[in-house]
Copies of this chain bind each other. A is one copy, B any other.
Amino acid sequence: MPTYTPTERTQVKRLPKRAVYDKAQVHAILDEGFVCHIGFVMDGQPYVIPTLYARAGERIYFHGSAASRMLRSAGDGVQVCLTVTLVDGFVLARSAFHHSMNYRSVVVLGSARLVTDNAEKREALHRFTNHIVPGRWEEVRQPTEQELKATSVLALELNEVSAKVRTGPPLDDEEDYALPIWAGVVPVQMHFGEPVPDGRVPPGVYPVDTNRLRSRGRNGAEG
């Protein structure tokens, strides 16, 4: 079972029983999520920006346009933290103190590389698109060289990685179990609504089957 090697910076110190370094589990979390939060530093101030990403084997590509101020300031090789969080449930305990959240999160530390080669950019856009809707890339108009040039993509290797996972019911103090208070988990799920066409879809062109979205992240992203 291949794992990431914890470093001083990724060793989970608080609640270490929630720590996960198993590559397969980390990949599964990354493949299910689609928005990451990128942290970077500018003039000593941390910034955290949401952006789209996709995994390609042991590499993550993420959209750099939202983080353009980072790119302008740091150019190549900027230190980042990429965090992906999936919320699975509200954990309602009998005491206020033991309320919690069931979640799975991945933290990746490293130096992000600006992708400059158009072929690699195209590959990253391919991954972004099919990460959101499997098969979508094959249906849409492909990017031109000009569009590729206008797209900022960054690459981050999965070297320094940790995950944290909480599952299961609340853990109450023994004496609180006698209280007449409901306790358990309220599941939280991502739900995809009925697709809403824009005003200019030609007759006979059918919407995306939302079952394709529900299959997201199930097939892995090795490569």
Contact = CB atoms under 8 A, between A and B. Distances in A.
A179 interface: yes
A101 B185 CA distance: 30
Contacts of A169: 196, 198-199
Contacts of A68: 13-14
27 contacts: A13-B69, A34-B87, A37-B85, A39-B46, A39-B81, A41-B41, A46-B81, A48-B48, A50-B83, A50-B105, A90-B213, A95-B142, A96-B143, A97-B151, A99-B129, A99-B132, A140-B181, A169-B196, A178-B202, A180-B202, A180-B205, A182-B201, A182-B205, A183-B197, A183-B200, A184-B201, A191-B191
Interface in A202-216: 202, 204-208, 210, 213
Contacts of A38: 48
A218 interface: no
Interface in A128-180: 128-129, 132-133, 136-137, 139-144, 147, 150-151, 169-170, 176-180
Classify chain A: how many residues form its interface, as a range.
35 or more
A70 to B, nearest CB: 10
Interface in A9-30: 9, 13-14
Nearest to A93: B140
Interface in A76-106: 79-83, 85, 87, 89-90, 92-97, 99, 101, 103, 105
Nearest to A72: B13
B141 A94 contact: yes
A35 B85 CA distance: 9
A189 interface: yes
B196 A185 contact: yes
Contacts of A199: 169
Most chain B Cβ neighbours within 10 Å, of A107, A150, A180, A198: A198
A66 B107 CA distance: 13
Contacts of A185: 195-196, 198
Given A83-B37, A132-B90, A207 B182 contact: yes
